[in-house]
């Protein structure tokens, strides 16, 4: 077997353009882009690209594109490549910073409008320059990689060659286009005549797998964190008959996991391909042939076609045969840009010194054994630790950063260090987009130093690891600092440029973000003033809301009811595509546990409590089974297992429409198990004697499932029992220290569970409301509507699957409104029917009682 195959030189192409972007139309009527209801062939995509190129004009320009997985962004990016302009890709949250640094000539605005700032470029653009890419992930470093037309074309052709991409392949986007790995997926499939399915959904979302199946996805790309999520959602048990291969890059994957996925792919009929690359090499430098993955999972494989490696001596390389890995090939960048003046430069590098220490095995495979540079990779993002130190340091608090792939350790020193720990933690998550689970922040008296006076980073890492971690101040205690609130705004609104004088309205907040920000502010402050949305951030810290009165006629609404109404709107709105606010179903699980403790675990004797629990289960299971049964009779969408609410236990492992009712099934399973447990007299006595400790113990057991220490037996729904137990414990928490302890558990266990910060924020905010607020204010005019939505939430959940798909094409808002109205109507009818049946039963019982007292006439 030949491990290194040279790539023949590409055919001569028109200077100054990227051939695959220019020649889209040659693939004719093959599908190219699938994005929601949009279906574009390669010919139609070429027409849109041509039209956008015409709008850009004839003179070469620097075109800023916010590289999200959006059709408009894709078209503008391709138009720049096809017409000889220079595309500048930036993460959406960093677009403003990049624009200020590089002054682009044209900008694609968030709403899809192309802003042409000038007819000709203000910059001198080198003829070979085609693309500028950020090199340090989300850390906002101004350093960009300068990539040429040949870089893009050569690397795309090489990847197509070693992966064997076909014109029938369809790649569902799991990574953003502003990340070079995600961009390479788009480039290669369009070059070959395949299709890309554009989405920002996470692999942790059930809707992603619905999309993967419905659109016939054949390829899946992931960074190491992606595979954490795949393990959680039961990927190994999914049935994906069209899947051809899974690729991994963006950091080192544990060899045991590489071997496991290679073997899983072999059994399921798809290839697992480990790859290695850097932005400076356009995307890829090496790949591990799938047939070698199980035997050599610790390696990155061989150079890509057309590329080569050398090992050069490095002072850090102590082991024999280890050196710095140096790559050469047609995909090596022109060089770096640190300012607009660098855009005029031609090639300044001919080889890529990767900064990685490696060795070559006897079989010709390369293995990465260490790193020279001050970079780490977290969730697939390459983080410049030196830049991070500069950005986080502030008067009174100097920051030093260390860590390894997958973890960032931050030490804060100085007079104000202790007070700044929370603010630094918030800024790392909000401004730089790094997952909180991977970041440790602590205050230190002083940094350990070497004899030469430099910071001793290995010793600093040990110091941070050993330091106890401070928990954030509990909700409502006035512990929120202005900087903490600024970081919160920056995180939730995607506005890292927020200042202490900013307001919610001034930062572009809308009705959707209003709810989420207000919930988080209330968790931070205990209460918020009525005019918080127009109040500067610095004035909000420590604020308390005045009593509502006057013409606003505010009422108090139970927090659990408000959460039920809000959560079901979020579920329906997300499924219908009106907006994306995930986590509603999981908040409902916690609310179910909260209400279970309040309404089912009363002081009544054990048999009475069990009878009430049985009634509660029936009120969920019976209407669910009746509705699903009716749908089965009228359509072929579901099956008998759905009617019996057994799909979660006995249904197919792959995620299909049969899993639409997972929430109902899991809730019934939990309630049945709890009823069986509390039916044991000794357990019943324990629960009564230790009303708070009992659910805390159950919470601990549930966390074993959340962290996959034990298998709770229900695939694809994620282990949600711990959220039910959390709600139960929240209802029993009668003292401040109990609520504080639960808050700490909540803050520690929710982040990182889904891999989606917005979803995790919604869950933490919603459940925290249960802990700290018995009621929430609600305008009197809305109280009735909110109450109806809360009461009918089960029926809305059951019926919306049959409502919104028929109205989405008209408008998502209509689909959401109709779904809510239908569920509320069915709930009203069910309530009336229940009242009628109950009344009839009572009359029959009375009649039997009368008959039983009549004299015997025999």
Q: Identify the CATH number of the domain in which residue 436 sits.
A: 3.30.300.30
User: In this predicted structure, which of 11-15, 318-322, 784-788 has the lowest mean pLDDT?
Assistant: 11-15
Query: Which pairs from 390-398 meet CB under 8 Å and 24+ separation?
Result: 391/139, 391/140, 391/431, 391/432, 392/424, 392/427, 392/428, 394/420, 396/420, 397/424
Domain assignment present for 418: yes
- Answer whether residue 553 is part of any domain: no
pLDDT, average across residues 841-853 = 39
Residue found under tokens 């074309």: 153
Q: What is the pLDDT of residue 670?
A: 92
Q: Do 441 and 486 sit in the same domain of this protein?
A: no
- Same domain? For 182 and 64 the reply is yes
| Contacting residues for 621 by C-beta, under 8 A, at least 6 apart | 645, 664, 668
The per-residue pLDDT for 39 is 94
Alpha carbon of 222 to those of 185, 228, 265, 505, 654: distances in Å? 11, 10, 15, 37, 19
pLDDT tens column, 738-772: 999 999 999 999 998 877 888 899 999 999 998 99
Same-domain check for residues 443 and 520: no
Of 368, 358, 422, give the one whose Cα is nearest residue 392.
422
Q: Which of 427-441, 591-605, 655-669 is predicted with the least confidence, judged by mean pLDDT?
A: 427-441
Q: Which residues pair with 172 in a beta bridge?
A: 197
Last residue of a domain, one of 466, 490, 508: 466
pLDDT at residue 783, rounded to an integer: 67
What mean pLDDT, rounded, does the chain reach? 83
Q: What's the burial of 780, exposed, middle or buried (CB within 10 Å: 0-12/13-18/19+)?
A: exposed
Q: Are residues 136 and 178 in the same domain?
A: yes
Buried b or exposed e, range 403-436, using 16+ CB within 10 angstroms: bebbebbbbbbbebbeebbbbbbbbbbbbbbbbb
User: What is the rounded CA–CA span in Å between residue 354 and residue 372?
Assistant: 9
Residues 444 and 357 placed together within one structural domain of the fold: no
Q: What share of the chain has pLDDT > 70, as a percent?
A: 81
Task: Answer whether residue 1 shows pLDDT above 50.
Answer: no
Which of the listed ranges 128-137, 309-318, 340-349, 653-662 does the model predict with the highest average pLDDT? 340-349
Domain count, the chain: 4
Distances from the Cα of 513 to the Cα of 210, 262, 535, 557, 775, angstroms: 26, 42, 16, 21, 21
pLDDT of residue 611: 84
Which token pair is 583?
């986590």
Domain residue limits at 302? 19-371
* Weakest mean pLDDT among 11-15, 98-102, 245-249, 279-283: 11-15
Q: Partners of 402 in the beta sheet? A: 409
Residue 848 within a domain? no
Q: How far, CA to CA in Å, does 145 sit from each of 102, 136, 247, 281, 846?
A: 13, 10, 23, 9, 84
Percent of the chain as helix, strand, coil, to the nearest 5: 50, 15, 35
Q: Residues 783-821: pLDDT tens digits?
A: 668 878 888 889 999 999 999 999 988 999 999 999 999
CA max distance for the chain: 114
Segment 458-483 mean pLDDT: 64
Residue 554 lies in a domain: no
Asked whether residue 525 falls in the same domain as residue 447, the answer is no
In a domain, 346, yes or no: yes
pLDDT in tens, 351-387: 999 988 899 999 999 999 877 767 787 766 767 787 7
In the DSSP assignment, the letter for residue 774 is: S
Please state the rounded mean pLDDT for residues 451-465. 77
**Integer Cα distance of 338 and 340 in angstroms:** 7
Residues 361 and 387 in one domain: no
Task: Name the region of 453 (left: φ>0; alpha: ψ -120 to 50; beta: rest).
Answer: left
Which of 546, 567, 586 is the last residue in one of the domains? 546
pLDDT in tens, 238-289: 989 999 999 999 888 888 899 999 999 999 999 999 999 999 999 999 999 9
- Per-residue model confidence (pLDDT) at position 626: 94
Give the pTM: 0.52
**Same domain (yes/no): 223, 367:** yes
For residue 659, pLDDT over 90 is answered with no
Helix 662-678, helix 584-599: angle, nearest 10: 30
- pLDDT-derived band at 856, boundaries 50, 70, 90: very low
pLDDT in tens, 378-428: 766 767 787 788 788 877 788 999 888 778 899 998 887 887 888 888 788
Q: What is the mean pLDDT of residues 6-15?
A: 40
Tens of pLDDT along 501-553? Answer: 677 655 655 433 443 455 456 556 655 554 454 567 766 764 544 433 444 45
Q: Do 533 and 568 belong to one domain?
A: no
**CB atoms near residue 704 (< 10 Å):** 15
11 domain-assigned: no
- Looking at residue 549, its pLDDT comes to 43
Strand partners for 195: 170
Q: Can you give the pLDDT at residue 8?
A: 37
Instruction: Please check the confidence at residue 308 and state whether its pLDDT lies above 70.
Output: yes
CATH number, position 515: 1.10.1200.10
Are 615 and 537 found together in one domain? no
What was the pLDDT predicted at 809?
83
540, 683: one domain: no
248 in a structural domain: yes
- pLDDT at residue 6, as a whole number: 36
For residue 68, what is the domain's CATH number? 3.40.50.12780
- Is 566 in a helix, a strand, or coil? helix
Specify whether 232 is located in the same domain as 289: yes
Q: DSSP class of residue 93?
A: G
- Residue 475 included in any domain: no
Give backbone dihedrals phi and psi of 219, rounded to 5 degrees, phi first. Answer: -135, 150
- 473 has pLDDT over 50: no
């Amino acid at each position: 077997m030949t491990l290194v195959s040279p790539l023949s030189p590409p055919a001569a192409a028109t200077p100054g353009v990227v051939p695959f972007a220019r020649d889209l139309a040659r693939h004719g009527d093959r599908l190219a882009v699938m994005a929601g209801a949009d279906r574009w062939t390669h010919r139609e995509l070429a027409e849109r690209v041509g039209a956008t190129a015409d709008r850009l004009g004839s003179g070469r320009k620097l075109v800023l594109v916010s590289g999200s997985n959006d059709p408009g962004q894709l078209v503008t990016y391709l138009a720049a490549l096809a017409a000889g302009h220079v595309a500048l890709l930036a993460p959406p949250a960093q677009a403003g910073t990049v624009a200020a640094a590089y002054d682009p000539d044209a900008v694609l605005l968030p709403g899809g409008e192309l802003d042409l700032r000038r007819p000709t470029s203000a910059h001198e653009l080198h003829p070979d320059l085609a693309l500028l890419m950020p090199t340090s992930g989300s850390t906002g470093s101004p350093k960009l990689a300068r990539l040429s037309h040949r870089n893009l074309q050569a690397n795309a052709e090489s990847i197509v060659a070693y992966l064997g991409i076909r014109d029938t392949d369809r790649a569902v986007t799991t990574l953003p286009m502003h990340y070079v790995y995600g961009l390479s997926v788009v480039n290669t499939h369009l070059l070959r005549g395949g299709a890309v399915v554009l989405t920002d959904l996470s692999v942790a979302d059930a809707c992603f797998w619905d999309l993967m199946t419905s659109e016939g996805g054949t390829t899946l790309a992931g960074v190491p964190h992606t595979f954490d999520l795949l393990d959680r959602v039961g990927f190994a048990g999914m049935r994906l008959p069209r899947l051809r291969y899974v690729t991994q890059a963006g950091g080192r994957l544990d060899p045991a996991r590489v071997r496991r996925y290679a073997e899983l792919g072999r059994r399921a009929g798809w290839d697992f391909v480990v790859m290695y690359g850097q932005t400076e090499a356009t995307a890829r430098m090496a790949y591990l042939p799938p047939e070698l993955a199980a035997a050599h999972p610790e390696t990155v494989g061989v150079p890509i076609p057309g590329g080569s490696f050398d090992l050069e001596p490095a002072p850090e390389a102590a082991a024999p045969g280890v050196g710095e890995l140096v790559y050469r090939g047609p995909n090596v960048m022109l060089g770096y840009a640190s300012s607009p003046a660098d855009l005029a430069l031609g090639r300044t590098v001919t080889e890529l010194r990767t900064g990685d220490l490696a060795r070559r095995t006897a079989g010709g495979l390369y293995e990465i054994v260490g790193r020279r540079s001050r970079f780490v990779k977290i969730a697939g993002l390459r983080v410049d630790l030196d830049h991070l130190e500069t950005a986080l340091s502030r008067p009174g608090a100097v920051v030093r950063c260390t860590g390894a792939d997958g973890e960032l350790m931050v030490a804060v020193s100085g007079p104000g260090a202790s007070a700044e720990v929370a603010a630094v933690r918030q800024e790392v998550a909000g401004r730089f987009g790094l997952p909180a689970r991977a970041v440790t922040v602590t205050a230190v008296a002083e940094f350990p130093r070497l004899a030469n006076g430099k910071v001793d980073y290995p010793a600093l890492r040990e110091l941070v690891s050993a330091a106890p971690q401070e928990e954030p101040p509990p909700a409502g205690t006035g512990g929120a600092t202005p900087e903490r609130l600024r970081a919160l705004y920056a995180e939730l609104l995607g506005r890292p440029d927020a200042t202490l004088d900013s307001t919610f309205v001034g930062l572009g907040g809308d009705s959707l973000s209003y709810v989420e920000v207000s919930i988080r502010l209330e968790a931070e402050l205990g209460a918020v003033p009525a005019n918080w949305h127009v109040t500067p951030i610095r004035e909000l810290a420590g604020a308390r809301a005045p009593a509502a009165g006057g013409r606003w006629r505010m009422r108090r609404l139970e927090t659990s009811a408000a959460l039920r109404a809000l959560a079901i709107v979020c579920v329906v709105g997300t499924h219908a595509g009106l907006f994306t606010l995930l986590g509603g179903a999981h908040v409902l699980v916690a609310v179910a546990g909260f209400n279970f403790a309040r309404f089912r675990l009363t002081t009544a004797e054990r048999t009475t409590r069990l009878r009430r629990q049985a009634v509660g289960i029936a009120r969920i299971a019976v209407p669910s089974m009746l509705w699903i049964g009716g749908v089965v009779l009228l359509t072929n969408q579901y099956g008998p297992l759905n009617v019996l609410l057994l799909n979660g236990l006995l249904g197919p492992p792959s995620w299909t429409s049969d899993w639409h009712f997972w929430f109902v099934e899991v809730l019934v399973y939990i309630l049945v198990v709890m009823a069986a447990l509390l039916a044991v007299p000794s357990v019943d006595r324990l629960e009564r004697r230790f009303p708070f400790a009992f659910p805390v113990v159950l919470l601990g057991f549930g966390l074993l499932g959340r962290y996959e220490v034990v298998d709770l037996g229900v695939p694809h729904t994620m282990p949600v029992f711990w959220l039910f137990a959390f709600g139960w414990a929240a209802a029993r928490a009668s003292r401040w220290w109990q609520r504080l302890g639960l808050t700490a558990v909540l803050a520690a266990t929710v982040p990182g569970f889904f891999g989606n910060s917005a979803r995790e924020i919604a869950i933490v905010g919603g459940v925290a409301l249960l802990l700290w607020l018995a009621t929430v204010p609600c305008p009197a005019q809305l109280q009735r509507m909110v109450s109806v939505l809360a009461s009918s939430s089960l029926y809305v959940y059951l019926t919306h699957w049959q409502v919104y798909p028929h109205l989405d094409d008209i408008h998502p808002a209509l689909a959401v409104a109709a779904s809510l109205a239908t569920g509320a109507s069915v709930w009203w009818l069910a309530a009336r029917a229940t009242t009628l049946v109950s009344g009839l039963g009572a009359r029959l019982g009375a009649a039997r009682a009368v008959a039983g007292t009549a004299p015997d006439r025999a």
